Amino acid sequence: MEMTLLGHQRDESVLEQFALPCAREERVPLVKMLFATRQNLQTNSKDALVEKMTEEIFDVCDEYDQVIGQATRAEVHARGLLHRAVHIWIWRSDGRLMVHLRSDTKDQFPNCYTSSASGHLDTGEDYEQAAHRELKEELDLAGELTWSTKLPASSLTANEHSVLFEMITDEIPKPDPGEIAEVEYFTLPELRQLLDRKPDNLTPPFRALLEWWFDTQD
């Protein structure tokens, strides 16, 4: 398994460079103040992202994936309304699948593994349009997508009608840190092991898609 980490270790020596040329005990409060300021900015940024997500408008669907209305993201999730989502699996030429760890700012399944890119459809958007948009927004990638399957909305897919697209590329992604904490590349045996041994570490739709995929390969 290969992994790309986002973010940086705290480096106090960097902040020390900004301290005034005085005794160390007098510089400590300044260092703490700078750390506190950065933490407040990060918290405010997360709060703004969460607020923006909850205000998104989704199409509400019936069991046949016919649109029957609209509701905010927060209401859709709170009431368990059926809605639409898209997943993109990116395969490298060496056969590894890109998987990402969701950011801790996500309102559902934070810090869980999911597809290379995924997301809800905007109101009036079709699945392929959403797939290309999510690919660009989350990974700054573009390319030809192949439709793979569609799973009906149920508790197994977090009430999402889920369409899967796939693509092959060795291009290096540029993950959105607001959405993605880590990007990893898994071999097929590693994916099977993850699914069997740590299913709760996967989002329900990703778990359902993996189960479908392995069933088709047997």
Mean pLDDT by 10 residues, the chain (218 residues): 48 41 44 48 46 76 98 95 98 97 90 96 96 98 98 97 98 95 96 95 97 91
CATH of the domain at 90: 3.90.79.10
Q: Is residue 73 part of a domain?
A: no
Q: Is residue 60 part of a domain?
A: no
Residues 160 and 97 placed together within one structural domain of the fold: yes
Residues 133 and 203 placed together within one structural domain of the fold: yes
Count: domains in the chain: 2
Residues 125 and 169 placed together within one structural domain of the fold: yes
Containing domain of residue 183, as a range? 83-217
Residues 148 and 190 placed together within one structural domain of the fold: yes
**What is the per-residue pLDDT for 193?**
96
**Interstrand relation of 160-168 and 83-91 (parallel, antiparallel or unpaired):** parallel
Backbone angles phi, psi at 28, to 5 degrees: -55, -45
Residues 42 and 88 placed together within one structural domain of the fold: no
**What is the per-residue pLDDT for 106?**
86
